[in-house]
Structure 1
Amino acid sequence: MGVGTAMPALVADIGAVSLYAWPFVAFMAAAVFATVLGGRWCDRAGPRIPLVGAPLLFGIGLVVAGTAAGMPQLLLGRVLQGLGAGTQAVAVYVLVAAVYPERARPAVFGLISSAWVLPALLGPPVSGLVTETVSWHWVFLGLVPFVVLAVGLVVPAVRRLGPPDAHREVAPPRRGLVAAALGAAVGVAALSWASQQRGVVAAVVAGVAIVVLAPALVRLFPRGVFRAGRGIPTVVLSRGLLAGVFFTVNAYLPLMLNGTHGWSLAMAGLPLIVGSLGWSAASAWQGRHPDLPRALLLRIGFCALAVGTAGMLLVAPGWGVPWLALPFWVVAGLGMGIGFSSMSFLLLQQSGAGQVGFHSSAAQIADQLTTAAMIGAGGALLALLGTPAAALPVLVALLTALAVTGAVVAARTTPA
């Protein structure tokens, strides 16, 4: 959460502005690759080793990046961090499926959704303070004690976690999984890089990324995702739509308020804070109501997200009213808190033994892919139309349409 704040000082110290995007791209590529292979590992052998190994790998990456004197070592550290983060994200889903009864899962997913709020609020300002007063190196090294604490908490728990049932059905191996994982990693990373660039080269890279991604996604997604097939395919699609809409608006909201309306960067970050708090509050609320139908809650979440996103049409133009970003993004955050937790519940509910890792990794990739593609679309619109006041209303309209699409297909998250 804090790396973005430290990146300008980091690049000025050990790199060049032309390399600005690469630490983010390296992390993204490694996370996608680890998401796929980590999911398969968890399905076949259980989540015990990934739950310990992933934070250790992330911690080693922190040390490597924090002691870097040049860009190659920094990128190696970011790759290790991405491998740890991608594996951890899937292992947690498999753990929830293995340990918690279905009725308890809404509350668990409410806690998981809320767990990112404190880092989201504190990470950027603390990172900025550490970078200015000490060094960007300590943005990485200062987190190592937290990794040690996390591993210390997890090890006793996984010791009590039994091995996978030797008699359970395990999904058959999928051919070409490693190649598909590499293709997805390269494709998503290329889209992520292109989203931070402008011009013809970025457009060409984005086009090549899509060509590379297409065959990879056939292997990595459940059949029927792109036609909103009933059940798991639409659950995976919903994850992509939720994340793509919310995080793309999150990425462009500061530019909308600062570039178009002249707000300071500190003030322009306020909608992100209230959106995070709305997400946390709604996640906690749905966790206290385990008997509500999750497909209905997912539809309500999409509707709230659509309303919050559409409200930015009253903010993004030059004639817009900037303070409306605050109430509308609270509504969007509430929608994410309800919808994201409900989607996670449906994912586990419809995943058989030996499938949770595969389905969780597919949902994670849908999240990363849609977000990278939509942020890239925003960059292309800015390059084409020239100013945030001209480009961002078009992007917001597109994102609103995606949220409405999610509301329409949400009923298909339940099997026929």
Structure 2
Amino acid sequence: MTGASAGGAADGSRGGLLAERAQRTVLIGMVAYVALGAFESLAVSTAMPTVAAELDGLRLYTLAFATGSAAGVVGMLVAGRWTDRRGPTPPLLAGISLFLVGLLVAGLAPSMPVLLAGRTVQGAGSGIEGVAIFVLVARVFPEARRPKVFAWFAAAWVVPGVVGPLLAGAMTQYLGWRWVFLAVPVLAVPALLTLRPALAAGRTGPHGPVADGGDTTPWRDVAGQVLRGARGLGTVVLVRALVAAAFVGAQVLLPLALTRERGLAPALAGAVLTLHVLGWSAGSWARGRGGPSHAGFLR
């Protein structure tokens, strides 16, 4: 996300573009949608060993996660410029659409290559919507409330982290792994309906396109800083990438090792993911609660 998106949104939302009641409604929808995304991520990690075995695609197991992650990076790059020019609503709607279509393709996949295609579409959509929803937070909520909003985003991972792997394992064992993918689009509709006030507020940028000002550093220069581990932004991005790689690596490979090497049922193997999700959520929640506050807002 470029400077124009964050800076412009911050200026435009000073005091909030929506009334407090509308902000609460939008936050409920955002948290519900983040929780669905968290459930999907943990559920797929739990179910994927079974998926790969049934589709005879164990050799492509890691690609089922790598293709989505790579597509997500591309989606984030696209979303940064897109939100600068058009505001967060168009890319958010496009990202959500791609995410849900990818889930449907993966859930109905007759083979592992088709599932990989669905995961790629899903990953691109996730990358786009992730950037857009952060910009939308800055557009809808005043600055003093944003740390609490992000704390609620972290909290949205807690319930899926506790019950998600167990529920996904039970679904995989008794209903079939396809429902792990197909259930999310059905549940996403009510959450998306509550976002309508925010989507209306975010259809256009408050200060026009990126040419009005902001960070115009070419993305190739930023990429070079990251690859060199340059002091400042490059180091920050590189460290975050390494931490994310460790986090996702554990999430991806632990269920596979526990099911194939230890013979655990999917529900028990996925339950291990609960521990690292709870740790991450607790840290994010503590950091968000330590930021600026607003009296009486979602205490």
Please say if 1:115 is aligned against 2:156.
yes
Q: Who is 1:367 aligned against?
A: none
2:62 is the counterpart of 1:60: no
In structure 2, what is the Cα distance between the partners aligned to 1:270 and 1:14? 23
Match of 2:166 among 125, 135, 141: 125
Question: Cα gap change, 1:240/1:89 in structure 2, threshold over 3 Å: closer, same or farther?
Answer: same
Instruction: Give the letter for the 1:243 counterpart.
Output: A
The change in CA–CA distance for 1:243 and 1:12 in structure 2 (over 3 A counts) is closer
- Name the structure, 1 or 2, with higher relative contact order (CA <8 Å, separation 6+): 2
Check 1:23–1:161 CA distance in 2 against 1; reply closer, same or farther (3 A cut): same
The partner residue of 1:50 within 91, 95, 100 is 91
Q: Do the aligned partners of 2:140 and 2:198 also contact (CA within 8 Å) in 1?
A: no
Q: 1:166 aligns with which of 200, 208, 213?
A: 208
* SS, match of residue 94 in structure 1: helix
Q: Partner amino acid for 1:70?
A: S
- In the TM superposition, what is the alpha-carbon distance from 1:41 to its structure 2 partner? 1.1
Q: Which residue, out of 43, 49, 52, partners 1:2?
A: 43
Contact 1:226/1:237, CA 8 A, preserved across alignment = no
Q: Distance in 1 between matches of 2:198 and 2:204?
A: 13
Read off the aligned partner of 2:54 and give its amino acid letter.
Answer: D
State whether residues 169 and 270 of structure 2, in contact with CA within 8 Å, keep that contact through their aligned partners in structure 1: no
Q: d(CA) in 2 for partners of 1:233 and 1:156?
A: 36
Change (3 A) 1:122 1:4: same
Distance in 1, Cα, partners of 2:269 & 2:104: 32
Corresponding position of 1:239: 240
SS state at 2:194 partner: helix
Deviation, 1:125, is: 2.0
State the secondary structure of the residue aligned to 1:290: coil
Residue in 2 that maps onto 1:277: 278
Count the aligned residue pairs.
248
The 1:103–1:245 alpha-carbon spacing in structure 2 relative to 1, beyond 3 Å, is: farther
Q: Relative to 1, partners in 2 of residues 1:103 and 1:263: Cα closer, same or farther, differing over 3 Å?
A: farther
Distance in 2 of aligned mates of 1:233 and 1:133: 47
Q: Distance in 1 between matches of 2:61 and 2:246?
A: 25
Deviation at 1:158, TM superposition (A): 0.8
Q: Which moved more, 1:234-243 or 1:155-164?
A: 234-243
* TM-score, scaled to structure 1: 0.51
2:68 alignment partner in structure 1: 27
How do 1:306-321 residues align onto structure 2 when only pairs under 5 Å count? none
Contact 1:106–1:287, Cα closer than 8 Å, also in 2: yes
Aligned residue for 1:138? 179
Q: Percent identity?
A: 38
**Match for 2:168: what amino acid?**
S
3-state secondary structure, aligned to 2:109 = coil
What corresponds to 1:15 in structure 2?
Answer: 56
Gaps of 5+ in 1: 178-217, 293-416
TM-score by length of 2: 0.68
Larger radius of gyration: 1
In the alignment, does 2:134 pair up with 1:100? no
Indicate yes or no: 2:271 matched with 1:229. no
* SS of match in other structure, 1:156: helix
Q: Which amino acid aligns with 2:208?
A: A
Distance 1:288 1:276, change over 3 A: same
Distance 1:33 1:145 in 2: 26
The 3-state SS of whatever aligns with 1:59 is helix
Structure 2 letter corresponding to 1:141: L
Deviation sequence 1:229-288 (CA, Å, 0-9, x none): 24x44443442354345555666777999999x897877766643443343334333333
Q: Deviations over 1:372-394 (max 9, x none)?
A: xxxxxxxxxxxxxxxxxxxxxxx
What 5-or-longer segments of structure 2 have no aligned partner? Answer: 1-41, 294-299
Is the Cα contact below 8 Å between 1:56 and 1:151 reproduced in 2? no
Give 2:290's aligned residue: 289
> Which amino acid in structure 1 is aligned with residue 145 of structure 2?
A
Is the CA contact 1:65–1:140 (under 8 Å) kept in the aligned structure 2?
A: yes
* Matched residue SS, 1:135: coil
8 A Cα contact 2:95 2:125, kept in partner: yes
SS at match of 1:18: helix
Q: 1:108 to 1:235 in 2, by over 3 A?
A: farther
